Amino acid sequence: MSKRFKDTKTLDLFEQIYPVRRPPVISHTVDLSGKIKRLVSLILKESPKSREQIAAEMSEAMDCPSFSKAMLDNYSSEANELHQIPLYRFIVLVRVADAAWAWDELLKDEGFTVLFGDEALLAERGRVAQQIEELKKYQKELNSVAPVKIRRRL
């Protein structure tokens, strides 16, 4: 098997502004269910709102009067394997608890960094500026190779 070439000279545009995460080498089974339950628990702990308030707001947002604090407790309990939080309820939980940081926490092991609002625009501007610089260098290389003479045909 051939060795893979690793480019160490190319700078990463986002490394200076946003930390670039690389996915770890996974040698064990990923317990995603437990990770999500721990994250739900952390969201509930970090929120200034009580669990009762969060449950009431989620109930209203989802138009589900039967949603309760007990359901939140089940979603955050690693011992209770029968209750898994559905994605739409997780999204509502993140919104109600104002915990946008949870998306970054959820995806960081996969090597992703979540950008919000103007951060995404700033990153895109940086990427475009980097491409422009690369094209200018390439244009300079082309111009230095040899002058181009244009002849008119009659």
Domains of the chain by residue range: 30-114, 115-148
CA angle 52, 57, 60 (to 5 degrees): 125
**CA separation for the pair 61, 98 (Å, rounded):** 14
**CA separation for the pair 16, 108 (Å, rounded):** 17
pTM above 0.75, yes or no: no
What pLDDT is stored for residue 17 in this prediction?
Answer: 62
Identify the residue with better confidence: 79 or 28.
79
**CA separation for the pair 102, 114 (Å, rounded):** 10
pLDDT digits (tens, 9 = 90+) for 106-125: 888 888 888 888 988 999 99
* 30-114 is a CATH 1.10.530 domain: no
Residues 6+ apart with CB under 8 A from 48: none
